[in-house]
Chain A
Amino acid sequence: MGKVVALEGNQAAALAMRQINPDVVAAYPITPQTEVVQEFSQFVADGLVDTELIAVESEHSAMSACIGASASGARVMTATSANGMALMWEVLYIAASARLPIVMALVNRALPGNINIHCDHSDSMGARDSGWLQLFSENSQEVYDNLIQAVRIAEHLDVRLPVMVCYDGFIISHAVECLEVLEDDIVRNFIGELEPVNPLLDTDRFITYGPLDLYDFYFEHKRQQMEVYPTAKQVIVGIGKEFGSLAGREYGLYEGYLLDDAELAIVTLGSSAGTAKEAVDHLRSDGLPVGMLKLRCFRPFPNTEIAQVLSRPKAIAVLDRSVSFGGFGGPLFTEIRSAMFENETSPHLLNYIYGLGGRDIDVEDIEGVYKDLQRVVDTGNVERIINYVGLRG
């Protein structure tokens, strides 16, 4: 068992990075990620890590430096938010396609415009097709635990993909909470040494990264890359179990909360899952058969696992903290709906967009969503598939 400390989410991330002691960190500060880089810079200045910290002039350069360092055989980490992630967009794809095990803390923030520094998931969702694995965190504890596991997942020889550990800007990044942290040597033993694969610095065996790849081979390479994601799911589950036996906190692709006998279910990501658990407890004490599914792993998307775990509820609300302009519902909704299509049961599936730009969602808001679901089950009538919660007017 580790010791209990009070840290902000960003401090928890910086602490995990100190214990991981990466070879290279290249990053550019942006709200609400700034304290991650600020605290980690202090660790570098104090000689607490062996990391080469590269202060770059933009996020595009940050990710480019990460790619170069990772291809050379180094263990590499970075952190960003929203606009910073958007500026990395081109190179995010290169990191994944080159199968580089970079780990990033993504402090979720709304993309502009207009300018907003607060939380939503539009940055994560913009990168969902880039090839990165995406783990979402409910609280500071999960930020810390996910970052440590992400190193193992990314570097696993059957995976070799970059991983972003997402957590809610301000709500988690700038709130102090209790969490249990592990001893430095326990973290170091758990992550072990990076085993370089095709490192650029191996002068006995020269290789090329990122060559021209046209219609003669590009398609096959993309198809090959697709193969790794189902394997990544198994690796994530395996490492989550191993972490559980080490820390007493086991992780999987998702967490079900009172789902087994639930007839009304909510699916959500990130910090709102904790608020939803409180709502579930309230409504359960009133006798309502409610449950919640928190998705930890959005990429790879656990489609078959979700279809199975959601086979019982009669009505399901998917909560999206981002929108897909011109699409049919938010990104999480469309994926869940698609995953459920082959199920023999056909529950009512509703989408609730919430929390854009940091708009609060409280226990009462979530209870309202469950009550909507109850009405749908009672009447068999869905008034609107796409709904908004916490929206004025």
Chain B
Amino acid sequence: MTLGIVVGTVVSSSKDEQIQGARYLLIDKCNQQGEKKGDYLVALDIVGVGPNEMVMISEGSTARETMVTKNKPIDALVVGIIDIIDENDIIVYKK
């Protein structure tokens, strides 16, 4: 999975009709310390993420492997909100 920070949202009224009511988040990819890379993507949110939270994103066809996204045309999905990351027994990120 890829780490990223939720920096905003992307709103579209004329979208492929299969995903009504889904929330698209603007994600800036980051490292395990939470430093942003300026590398943006749009990911579907089904876990209810707030702004500036660090999340895990699953990209590619695996993004379709949930109840909500089955057979839907998406390739980036927020699969979890990060609480803590430790690296060599040192906490490098805490929510």
Bound pair: A and B?
no
Binding site for A on B (CB under 8 A): none
Residues of A within 8 A of B (CB): none
